[in-house]
Amino acid sequence: MDTGMKNILTAPFIKEMCKTASNMYRLGWDERNGGNISLMLDEGEAAEYLDPEGKLRTIPLGFDASALAGKIFLVTGTGKYFKNVEADPETNLGIVRISPDGKEAQLLWGYKDGGKFTSEFPAHLMSHMARLSVDPKNRVVIHSHPTHTLAMNYVHELDEKKLTHTLWEMCTECIVVFPDGVGVLPWMLCGTNSIGEATAEKMKQFRLVIWAMHGIYGAGRTMDETFGLIETVEKAAQIYMLTSHLPRINTIRDGQLKELAEFFGVDYRKDFLEST
């Protein structure tokens, strides 16, 4: 029977998700099942591949997501390995729609082995809500365990101003890529609503949030933008880890950071410069 529906495995959003998970795996950021990705789909685009009435099962959310009622998300599965996503998207990924009362996720596709969305779905959905409140075009949330960012957590003060300032100093383009800086949460138990609420609170002012001694969250309008934010922090953290034990001979000065931000016209956290 021809349903007129396109093959979902050819959908650009599935391909992009697969490619991103593979890239993150190969960069060493997402060992085993580490990390998770959620992408809010355009409803019109999703309808080309999915029957909106074709609900496979419902999965309780455990928190109130009514602000996202009816929204459709492509999300990595809990316990699923990033290295396997590309070879078997239908087992390792799922597409869910938030129920009208915001209490459940309606599974439209995926989690073929009976699985469910990432244990960090509270942090993802709450971050989506927070980002959408300040940027209606936000669509992506990525959580990852990038190696040098994590290493830096053990040897650098976990203070938002100090950490952001150090990262800005590590590569000339950092202040242009993340002028809003990096938010920091203390170590907290992961997979809970509490860490989700704390992450979302930070996401009102930052597109990047460090989970101390665990990893990082990034949010953005596209997969490229969000991946690029985390990639830029990770690069800066790598430079830090390569140089912090050596005598510092040269550095990018505050006046130069200011010059960069002004030249590229970005609204940066002026209070994160050293002198303030």
Q: Which residues bind Zn ion (CB under 5 A)?
A: 215
Exposure b/e, 147-176, CB count within 10 A at least 16 = b: bbbbebbeebebebbebbbbbbbbbeebbb
Stretch that binds ligand 13P, among 85-93, 113-121, 125-133, 265-273 (CB under 6 A): 113-121
104 vs 120, beta carbon nearer Zn ion: 120
The kind and range of the H/E element at 6 are: none
Q: How far is the CB of 111 from ligand 13P (least distance, A)?
A: 12
Pick the closest to residue 129 from 58, 204, 183, 62 (CA basis): 204
Is residue 20 part of the contact set for ligand 13P (CB under 6 A)?
no
**Total residues binding ligand 13P (CB under 6 A):** 12
Is residue 127 part of the contact set for ligand 13P (CB under 6 A)?
no
- Of the chain, the end-to-end C-alpha distance in Å amounts to 67
Is residue 34 part of the contact set for ligand 13P (CB under 6 A)?
yes
With CB under 6 A as the contact rule, the residue among 84, 119, 147, 244 that binds ligand 13P is 119
Residue listed under structure tokens 């383009």: 173
Pick the closest to residue 183 from 155, 212, 214, 152 (CA basis): 212
Q: How far is the CB of 116 from ligand 13P (least distance, A)?
A: 9
121 vs 268, beta carbon nearer Zn ion: 121
> 198, 188 in Cβ contact below 8 A?
yes
Q: How far is the CB of 102 from ligand 13P (least distance, A)?
A: 21
d(CA 168, CA 273): 9
With CB under 6 A as the contact rule, the residue among 99, 118, 149, 226 that binds ligand 13P is 118
Is residue 193 part of the contact set for ligand 13P (CB under 6 A)?
no
Is residue 91 part of the contact set for ligand 13P (CB under 6 A)?
no
Is residue 190 part of the contact set for ligand 13P (CB under 6 A)?
yes
Stretch that binds ligand 13P, among 31-39, 100-108, 169-177, 247-255 (CB under 6 A): 31-39
Cβ-Cβ contacts under 8 Å for 68 (sequence gap 6 or more): 98, 102, 125, 128, 129
Please pick, among 104, 120, 160, 231, the residue that the annotation labels catalytic: 120
Decide if 120 is catalytic. yes
Amino acid occupying residue 219: A
How far are the Cα atoms of 115, 145, 171, 175, 221 from residue 165, in angstroms, in the given order?
A: 41, 21, 11, 9, 25
**Binder of residue 33, out of ligand 13P, Zn ion, none (CB less than 5 to 8 A by kind):** ligand 13P
Q: 101 is written with which tokens?
A: 């009362």
Would you tell me which residues interact with ligand 13P (CB under 6 A)?
A: 33-36, 76, 78-79, 118-120, 143, 190
What residues are annotated to the active site?
120
